[in-house]
Amino acid sequence: MLEVSDEIRSRAEGARAAALQLSNASEEERNAALEAVARGLEANAGAILEANRRDLEAAEVLLAEGRLTGALVGRLKVDEVKLRNEIIPGVHSVQAQEDPIGRTLAATEMDHRLKLYKVSVPIGVLGIVFESRPDALVQIATLCLKSGNAVLLKGGSEAFHTNRALANVLIASTRGLPGIPDGWMHLMEAREDVQAILDLHHLIDLIIPRGGNELVQHIMRNTRIPVMGHADGICHVYVHAAADLEKAKRICLDAKIQYPSGCNAAETLLVDRDIAEEFLPEMVGIYKRNGVDVRGDDLTRTLAGNALPQATEEDWATEYLDLVISVKVVNGVQEAVDHINRYSSNHTDAIITEDRAAATRFLREVDSASTLHNASTRFADGFRYGLGAEVGISTNRLHSRGPVGLEGLVIYKYIIEGNGQIAGDYLGEDAKAFTHRSLAETWTPES
């Protein structure tokens, strides 16, 4: 275990104190802070873009040396269009979301004038470790602010200057605002800070990694703090025998090339044997014309040309994050489902078919956070789901699954409103009986 420095511990303790205050900030106060963040990003656009230019220059050198991939460099870029058309509107989108705090999830009458309420509350202090994409810093921080959580952020070194510029804007924009405590957000910049925050299990409530498999696996192995996230995005598109092949062509192409470095981009195409001879040669040609490197199993190579590289066992388990796809011919829905459940990362998988029974079977039996029928895997995204921005995508079995927005950043507490009742009254021969009747009412501080 790494010795945690006094500075890191102090920041985490400050975040813990800030979380308690922020959880009691009103929705109006949190929304006003988000509006201030949006204005701050607009006012400091020049400094942000200059910082990103410095990071991109350094990244191009690393790319030339083979130490960074082109996909990672692409994720790093923040230009004026992205800032004004995506990042700032994203802040407004979070601001416009319904308040996730203080919702009454259930209300129960335990007995006369003894009521139980299940009410949503912030998680507390989040530790977020993310790679490459500096716009993720704004998404994550604003989601935390809206949901009343304090946050410790650690970005990738390749985005050092951009992350610092963005964090400075967010911290300065919210400093001194009503209800918003200092210390609600901290940016960690040293490599060793990652392990330091992983050791602070008594101060940090949840770790969310956003990055590649190596990062996520390292975090899962080296902390006692609960981890929410996904290790890989090995996503599949299965073209069923009853597919509309024109739909299939559009969806298969979009799922691969619309944003190949996205974790919801397709990495494997499965094609039903009954349509493979008709569909595969044309689909492979479409991929090739769009710069996609296609790898195939034996039958795919026979049908689409032996010049294709052979897909290996390793390919089926690989997240390329690039213009590469592996293709396999399967015998029906069962083989497709079996292949996906063996090799997928439980992230996002799609079936293309006009057969409702086949679609229903696939949607139910594929064990992934998102399953789609006649739609691109690229729809698996918090914004497209109407969740606003997302803090990440989770393939966990507990708490949250799929794109995680505001709903995934709150938990709940139980509140009882009584009138002098004691537990002893409900024990023994003359015990009172609980009514346990559901109530259609909400808890408020004035309840």
Look at residue 378 in the predicted model and tell me its pLDDT: 96
Listing DSSP states for 104-167 in one string gives: EEEEEEEETTEEEEEEEEE--EEEEEE-S-THHHHHHHHHHHHTT-EEEEE--GGGHHHHHHHH
Tell me the C-alpha distance between 412 and 105, whole Å.
8
What pLDDT does 3 receive? 63
Phi-psi region of 238 (alpha: psi -120 to 50; beta: other; left: phi over 0): beta
**Secondary structure class of 382 (helix, strand, coil):** coil
Low-confidence ranges of the chain (pLDDT < 50): 1
Length of the chain (residues): 447
CB 284 within 8 A of CB 253: no
Q: What is the set of domains in the chain, with CATH numbers?
A: 6-229+400-409 (3.40.605.10), 235-380 (3.40.309.10)
Contact 251, 374 (CB under 8 A): yes
pLDDT at 202: 93
Supply 24's token pair. Answer: 């009691």
How many angstroms separate the CA atoms of 280 and 300, rounded?
A: 7
If you write DSSP's letter for every residue of 168-185 in order, what string do you get?
Answer: HHHHHHHTT-TT--TTSE
> Among residues 302, 232, 243, 241, which one has the least CA distance to residue 268?
232
Distance of CA 223 to the CA centre of its chain: 20
Q: Are 53 and 79 in contact (CB under 8 A)?
A: no
Partners of 437 in the beta sheet? Answer: 109
**pTM metric for this prediction:** 0.82
- Quote the pLDDT of residue 244: 98
Looking at residue 2, its pLDDT comes to: 53
Quick count: other Cβ atoms within 10 Å of Cβ 230? 23
